[in-house]
Every structure is written in structure tokens, then in C-alpha cells.
Amino acid sequence: KYAIVNDHIINREEAKVDIEDRGYQFGDGVYEVIRVYNGKMFTVKEHMERFVRSAESIGIKIPYASENITKMLEDLIEKDNLKLGIVYMQITRGAAPRNHAFPAGDVVPVITAYTKEMPIPEANLQSGVKTILTEDIRWLRCDIKSLNLLGNILAKQKAAEQGCYEAIQHRGQDVTEGSSSNVYIVKNGTVITHESNNLILKGITKDVILKVCAENEIPVEERTFSLEELAQADEVFLSSTTSEVTPIVVIDEKKVGTGSPGPITKKLQALFKQEIE
């Protein structure tokens, strides 16, 4: 197994973290998770664009061109002989004596990346998953794919403790997104999902779903929807790089619709599969 550290591919065991790396101390950095199907990264350009955007929005300038990083990730995938899985990549502001304010300009950011085998979650895609509701306690820049994931992990842990796959977060009456996914409802044939603003992460999978909806004349409304609308929905599903289009069949122990994956969700699963082939 190998890892990328800055502009080198090294043995995984040789990759080390400085105890004063700002990513380690402050969560001062951003990350991406990219799907690998058949040894190839899916929507890598979109992930790289979001990586740059996230980094820029916290004042980190990535010291390498996106094309060069992409090339290195491709080399890494090849060296690891990864066929089906993910690439995890992050950048931190770098290592410097601990101080909240940014360090001087000569501190170089630290990029790390590694691969992981991951199967397609077939059982979840087939049968759907159980979820819980939880108040969204995160900050107001959820559009940045930040390493600070405390709000997300506490939400996910709460779901896990109740034997559930995901926590659907809401700010008051408004549903935002899952702890590591975007959430959608279907009502009378229309797909409704939170608009991509500062309160959610603009999912790359979400963009693919919205694209296939447009191409197949499936009506979409990108807007805030309420807990009441969620409870009354015909179908509910979530999306992410690792979960693709996963039906949600239970929310807080109550069945969604008939309690099994609905027709629009299944249609979107099929259309999504076509995109990755």
C-alpha cells in the first residue's frame, strides 16, 4: 500500500503527521472522497474543483495544479492496483507552532491521499436504509468540505447507536442534509432537495442526479423542505460518493411511504448506474 504526501508517492507506513500539523490540531484543512470504479476515478474533475474551492474559501492555496494532483492520484490507484473503492485526499494549512491565527506565508500546506477498497453497497441500494432525525448543530459554512466533522460524527454516531445508517439533520423545521450525504424527498413525482447554499455540502453525486433528472424530464425543486414535508413524502433517498442513490425506508422508526424503495428512487438508481459505465 502506498500514500501520497505532497508531491511524492511513498510507502503507506512511512507517511507521518507532525504533532503540530494544523489539520491535526485545529481541523484546519479540507478533504475529498472520490469513487473509483473499474480502476478509474468518477467525476474527478468536479471533485478537484470542489477541493480547490473549499481550500480557497479558508485561504489555503493548493501548491500544485489540479491536473498534476489528478495524475498523481491515477498513479497511486495504479500502484495500489485499486479497482473498486475510494481515494481519500486532504490538505491542511501545514505544520507551525500552535497559534489560532494563520502562520507566516512560508509554511507549506500538507497534502495526503490514500486509497481504500470499497464494494458497492448492494444490500442498501436494494432494500433501503433506516435513519433517524437529529438537530443540525453544525456551523454556518457547511458548503466547505472541512476536516472539522464533529457535528457530522456526533450525528452519525447517534444513528449508529440506534442501528441506523444515517442521521437526517434539520435546523428547526428545515431539513438540511445527512451527516455524510444529501437528502431528497419525492412528492407527486417531483424530486425536492435543499438548495446548495452555506447550510449544506454541494454533493458531486447531487449534481449528477440533478443532471440525469433534467435529461429525463423528472421535475426537480431545489429548495428548503420541512420536517412535515419529509413525513408526508412518497419517497425519500440520500446520495453520496460512497452511497450512490440509497433509498431511505424508515425515519425515526416510521415507514416512509410503503416502506420499500419507490419508483422514482429506483429510476434514479438506474440512471446513476448508466453514468458510471
Q: Which residues form the catalytic set?
A: 145
Min. distance of Cβ 76 from ligand PDD in angstroms? 18
Min. distance of Cβ 133 from ligand PDD in angstroms? 16
* Among 158, 137, 159, residue whose Cα is nearest residue 148: 137
- Strand ordering across the sheet containing 8-11: 8-11, 2-5, 110-117, 85-92, 29-37, 40-41
Nearer to ligand PDD, 96 or 177 (CB): 177
Give one DSSP letter per residue of 113-180, joined into a string: EEEEE----HHHHHH-EEEEEEE----S-TTS-BS--HHHHHHHHHHHHTT-SEEEEEETTEEEEESS
| 3-state DSSP assignment of residue 201 | coil
Nearer to ligand PDD, 51 or 96 (CB): 51
The Cα 62–Cα 248 span in angstroms is 37
Nearer to ligand PDD, 4 or 142 (CB): 142
Nearer to ligand PDD, 167 or 251 (CB): 167
94: number of Cβ within 10 Å: 20
Min. distance of Cβ 106 from ligand PDD in angstroms? 31
Min. distance of Cβ 112 from ligand PDD in angstroms? 15
The residues pairing with 244 across neighbouring beta strands, listed in sequence order, are 240
| Residues found near ligand PDD in the complex (CB under 6 A) | 33, 152, 177, 180-182, 201, 203-206, 239-242
Nearer to ligand PDD, 92 or 180 (CB): 180
Min. distance of Cβ 142 from ligand PDD in angstroms? 7
Contacts of 219 (CB under 8 A, 6+ apart): 189, 190, 191, 213
